[in-house]
Amino acid sequence: MADTAGSRPSYDPQDPFAPTAVRSMLQIPSPAEAGLRMGPIEKIYLIWLAGGSCDGCTVAVVAATQPPVEKLIAGLVPGLPRVELIHPGVALEAGAAFTENLAMAERGELDAPYLIVWEGSVFENDSSGEGAFYRLGQDRDGRTTSSTEWLSRLAPNAAAVVAIGSCAAWGGIPAAQGNVTGSIGVMDFLERDYRSALGVPVVNIPGCSPVGDNFMETAAGVLLFLQGMGPLPEFDELGRPVWIFGETVHRRCPRGGYYEEGIFAEAYGEKECLVELGCWGPVVQCNISERGMVNGIGGCMNIGGICIGCTMPGFPDKFAPFYAVPPGTLVSATTSRVFGGFTRRMREVTQQDKNITGRWEGKDKPSGWARFQSRPTKSAKLVHKLYRAYQNTKIGN
Ligand code: SF4
Ligand code: SF4
């Protein structure tokens, strides 16, 4: 508090009511002094490897906010170890100095455990002719190595292997019909019996591109588990986090109410349900309509786009041709039109009744905003009467 006895007040920097300029002089404790990291692991290496990828997953993760990647790297997330990122796209070192990180991990010389994150599909066919796909440095004997080779060598001793994006999870676009590279996902590549050093099968965070926060949240959950501060997050039979991919995008879609009442958009730009424009939301497991793309903003149908099923193992072939009406739509949309249309009309009648105060019953609305005075029709009045009688019976019960 300010000392008003003297001519010049003195302030305690710890006093929340002290001037901002005084409070800002407070020495901020380092994360270690503040006890932010509470588990047995002080830091963890995150080794990022890429195969047949467009780098979209890296871009998505850089945009994450829950938590942001820079906070993990700075060790500023309470309870989580500091993350030492070894990523070929953002590394300051190059060549042998970079691959030495991987070699040290293989030789068990790192001073902390490591996670592997793989982005892109794994090319199975050696269709590169004289060249080579995704080369990644050389061994000490001068032999060229590839990202796939590093994955094989490092996966057995990793704390966990996370496949980010649909290419890494299932094969994705590179594995579409034709598949000249023989693209497959990490799970197929490491095979069914693969377990990490801690007994964890491959974790999959699909999406093309994935939502960055889906990855960060899952990684944070796995890190809390490694810290002994929580259970292993729940994954489904395909290694997807259940709380993220356990529901269809349709169930959380902001346009779901229109679907329920049988109202469908006829063209892009309209606000209603997009199913008749080719939306696969009712069967696709994805949370983007609820979470948004970046920091709660964007996401397919939130901004007017249909779902093309990019998180699903059957993507893209089983959802092609995109923007065509899915085969089941005729049945489901017609059912929704019939039953939803009836429900909507009944709701409109009730809504009309609830928009009238008791004082206005049987009179014109007193609002000067009303362009014309409308009163309920005789049949609507009858429905209101019956509905109120029914309501009263319910309340009486
Ligand atoms: S736009 Fe797609 S996800 Fe949204 S309600 Fe319609 S069908 Fe469902
Ligand atoms: S809503 Fe569909 S297209 Fe959009 S991110 Fe989710 S799965 Fe992919």
Tell me the ligand closest to 261's alpha carbon. Answer: 1
Report pLDDT for 131: 78
What's the gap in Å between 279 CA and the centre of ligand 1?
A: 6
Report pLDDT for 71: 92
Report pLDDT for 140: 79
Determine whether domain 247-361+371-397 maps to CATH 3.40.50.10330.
no
Report pLDDT for 1: 47
Report pLDDT for 394: 62
Number of the ligand 2 atom closest to the C-alpha atom of 289:
1
How far, CA to CA in Å, does 380 sit from each of 159, 167, 227? 66, 56, 63
Q: Which of 274, 290, 312 to mutate to test the pocket of ligand 1 (most atoms within 8 A of CB)?
A: 274
b/e code 296-312 from CB counts within 10 Å (16+ = b)? eeebbbbeebbbbbbbb
Report pLDDT for 327: 80
- Residue 45 neighbours by CB under 8 Å, 6+ apart: 83, 84, 86, 101, 105, 110, 112, 113, 114, 115
**Is the CB–ligand 2 distance for residue 286 below 6 Å?**
yes
Calpha distance 48→62 (Å, rounded): 13
What's the gap in Å between 284 CA and the centre of ligand 2?
A: 8
Q: Which of 248, 255, 271, 325 to mutate to test the pocket of ligand 1 (most atoms within 8 A of CB)?
A: 255
Calpha distance 104→106 (Å, rounded): 5
**Is the CB–ligand 2 distance for residue 249 below 6 Å?**
yes
Do 174 and 52 form a contact (C-beta atoms < 8 A)? yes
The structural architecture, per CATH, of the domain 43-243 is: 3-Layer(aba) Sandwich (3.40)
What's the gap in Å between 288 CA and the centre of ligand 2?
A: 7
What's the gap in Å between 373 CA and the centre of ligand 1?
A: 36
Report pLDDT for 305: 96
Summarised one tens digit per residue, pLDDT across range 68-111 is 999 999 988 888 999 999 999 888 888 888 999 999 999 999 99
3-state secondary structure of 258: helix
What's the gap in Å between 125 CA and the centre of ligand 2?
A: 29
Rounded to two decimals, the pTM is 0.84
Three-point CA angle 207, 52, 215, nearest 5°: 30
Report pLDDT for 162: 97
**Is the CB–ligand 1 distance for residue 60 below 6 Å?**
no
Number of the ligand 1 atom closest to the C-alpha atom of 248:
3
Report pLDDT for 188: 97
Number of the ligand 1 atom closest to the C-alpha atom of 279:
2
Report pLDDT for 378: 77
Domain ranges of the chain: 43-243, 247-361+371-397
Residues of the chain with pLDDT under 70: 1-7, 28-38, 371-375, 394-397
Number of the ligand 2 atom closest to the C-alpha atom of 287:
6
Report pLDDT for 33: 66
Report pLDDT for 307: 97
Report pLDDT for 330: 84
**Is the CB–ligand 1 distance for residue 259 below 6 Å?**
yes
What's the gap in Å between 331 CA and the centre of ligand 1?
A: 15
What's the gap in Å between 298 CA and the centre of ligand 1?
A: 15
What's the gap in Å between 325 CA and the centre of ligand 1?
A: 12
Residue having the nearest C-alpha atom to atom 1 of ligand 2: 307
Calpha distance 397→395 (Å, rounded): 5
Q: Which of 164, 297, 308, 318 to mutate to test the pocket of ligand 2 (most atoms within 8 A of CB)?
A: 308
What is the DSSP code (8-state) at residue 126? -
What's the gap in Å between 60 CA and the centre of ligand 1?
A: 24
From the list 304, 319, 314, 236, the residue with the least C-alpha distance to 274 is: 304
**Is the CB–ligand 2 distance for residue 284 below 6 Å?**
yes
